[in-house]
Amino acid sequence: MHHKTIAELSQELHSKKVSSVEVARHFLERIKRLDPQLNSMITVTEDHALQAAQAADQKLAQGQGGALTGIPIVQKDIFCTDGIKTSCGSKMLDNFIAPYDANVVTQLKAAGTVMLGKTNMDEFAMGSSNETSYYGAVKNPWDLERVPGGSSGGSAAAIAASLALGATGTDTGGSIRQPAGLCNITGLKPTYGRVSRYGMIAFASSLDQGGPFAKTVEDVALLLNAMAGFDERDSTSIDRPVPDYTTTLNDSIKGIRIGLPKEYFSEGLNNEVATVIEAAVKEYEKLGAVIQEITLPNTFLSAPAYYVIAPAECSSNLARYDGVRYGYRCAEPKDLEDLYKRTRSEGFGREVQRRIMIGTYALSAGYYDAYYLKAQKIRRLIRQDFDEAFKKVDVILSPTTPTPAFKLGEKMSDPISMYLSDIYTIAINLAGLPGMSLPAGFVNKLPIGMQLIGNLFGEAKLLNIGHAYQTVTDWHKRIPEGF
């Protein structure tokens, strides 16, 4: 049952071959038995899941419900869940019980999904390896000595290990696509504004975007159908109709123009990863796509710009954690200043503190123009690169990451090398574009992801092109041993 796709299991639920309660029990048992090896979950919500499954079964018994009714999912612990702990991977929020549901949670509930629990993540979504979590590192199911990627590593590992069939993640600089790539699953970062950020704990608000994970493109389309849409509680949410993303999955991709950015295939890219991606490009040629080299000349500026803008926004967003309103509070503060200082230095981990320091510096009076303003100008240039490229091609194809999953601990003492593992994903957030990672092959038994980048609101096209690839390849069907 756990190796089925959402689309397959949905049919079985609707034809009453299996009940949602049976499905929920099956997956909860897997989590209990297998997750101790992975540490992908922060909270398991067994009672909540069984109640939701009963409600799903009632709907199904009446011949109602949709494609997601009764489907087991997990939520990244960055999404607020009413009455359930929402930690954001931080000691700061270890005691925080959210008083309301994030929009994404509401929408997925309304679609009938059954939430099994909340997934582990890098603290406040800052990281590329899931090692900055207060709850400990997550392990990659393909090799337990390696990272699953981050920051949505818990969600990606849980799907790869078939502990649930769908998951949510957030992507500020690559945190959906990078872990999807390293864990052999499919993950989509939608266009900025497509999925509401209401109730999604903020890291860098102009870059953060929630999106789905699943094993296949078709399943990702089903999840996106439920997650996308206008929400007046998020001022950057865009009021634009949501198409049914499954209806265009099987459109022909003959003649579709795919661009290969030369900057994404240059120095720094592991040779074996390059070979895998070249093979994927050949598959697209066989499917009738027209391949073209393109240039995104400002690519080299994306990491430097991101690592000014993201910390700047985080330093502002995280100012609210002061020990007064909610979250962690230090013991017996001497006075107000002591309360602030000790709460924040005891409640935040090292990486979060580093970002707050960098961001505060970049925004300070004497340096704002030199750093923050300059980074914003670079951001505009990066967006212009993509605007130019999309005059020539329909989608852009690249590797998701420069290397396969690295070893736990390998990059923890070297933040710059950690930051560079998002080198192919960061620019897409700066430009607000949609991007997807899907399984494209293996190097030394470790999965490699291929990234497809679309123009604004090009999700349907991305999913169509990704689905076409999955109809002629079976990388996405490979399951890690022992799971």
Q: Minimum CB separation from ligand GLN for residue 84, in Å?
A: 22
Q: How many residues bind ligand GLN (CB under 6 A)?
A: 13
Q: Shortest gap between Cβ of 91 and ligand GLN (angstroms)?
A: 18
Which of 76, 189, 215, 461 does the annotation list as catalytic? 76
Which of 253, 422, 427, 469 is close enough to bind ligand GLN by CB under 6 A?
Answer: 422
Contact assessment for residue 228 and residue 209, using Cβ atoms and an 8 Å cutoff: no
Handedness of CA 406, 411, 417, 422 (dihedral sign): positive
Q: How far is the CB of 175 from ligand GLN (least distance, A)?
A: 3
Neighbours of 482 (CB within 10 A): 9
The answer to whether 398 is a known catalytic residue is no
CB 374 → ligand GLN: shortest distance, Å? 19
Figure out which of the listed residues 70, 89, 117, 127 binds ligand GLN, where binding follows CB under 6 A.
127
Cα 1 to the chain's mean position, in Å? 25
DSSP state of 193: T
Q: Between 423 and 448, whose beta carbon lies closer to ligand GLN?
A: 423
Token pair for 70: 């009764």
432 sits near ligand GLN (criterion: CB under 6 A): no
- Which span (2-10, 44-52, 59-67, 126-134) binds ligand GLN, by CB under 6 A? 126-134
Question: Which residue, 176 or 258, has its beta carbon nearer to ligand GLN?
Answer: 176
DSSP 477: G
Whose Cβ is closer to ligand GLN: residue 42's or residue 60's?
Answer: 42
The closest of 395, 65, 108, 80 to 228, measured between CA atoms, is: 108
Active site residue 151: yes
Instruction: Copy the structure tokens of residue 418.
Output: 């950690």
Distances (CA, A) of 469 to 67, 170, 199, 272, 457: 23, 24, 34, 20, 20
* Structure tokens that stand for 37 in this block: 């090896």
Q: What is the DSSP letter of 200?
A: B
Question: Minimal distance in Å, beta carbon 150 to ligand GLN?
Answer: 6
- Lookup: tokens for 6: 């959402």
| Cα radius of gyration (the chain) | 21
Q: Catalytic residue at 175?
A: yes
CB 222 within 8 A of CB 68: yes
Question: How far, in Å, CA of 254 to CA of 257, rounded?
Answer: 9
Q: Which residues, 309 to 348, sit near ligand GLN by CB under 6 A? A: 310
Among 84, 98, 125, 378, binds ligand GLN (CB under 6 A): 125
């926004």: which residue's tokens? Answer: 313
Q: Among 19, 40, 175, 421, which one carries the catalytic annotation? A: 175
Which residues 6+ apart lie within 8 Å of 207 measured at CB? 172, 173, 192, 306, 309, 310, 313, 429, 430
Site string for ligand GLN, 176-205 (x = CB under 6 A): ---------------------------x--
Q: What binding mask, one character per residue, do residues 65-104 give for ligand GLN by CB under 6 A, x or -?
A: ----------------------------------------
Decide if residue 175 touches ligand GLN (CB under 6 A).
yes
Q: Could you give phi then psi for residue 109, rounded to 5 degrees?
A: -65, -45
Contact flags string 2-31 toward ligand GLN, x per CB under 6 A? ------------------------------
Nearer to ligand GLN, 127 or 466 (CB): 127
Is the CB of residue 30 less than 8 Å from the CB of residue 2? yes
| Segment 134 to 173, residues that bind ligand GLN, using CB under 6 A | 151, 171-173
d(CA 273, CA 18): 40
Binding site for ligand GLN (CB under 6 A): 125-128, 151, 171-175, 203, 310, 422
The residues carrying an active-site annotation are 76, 151, 175
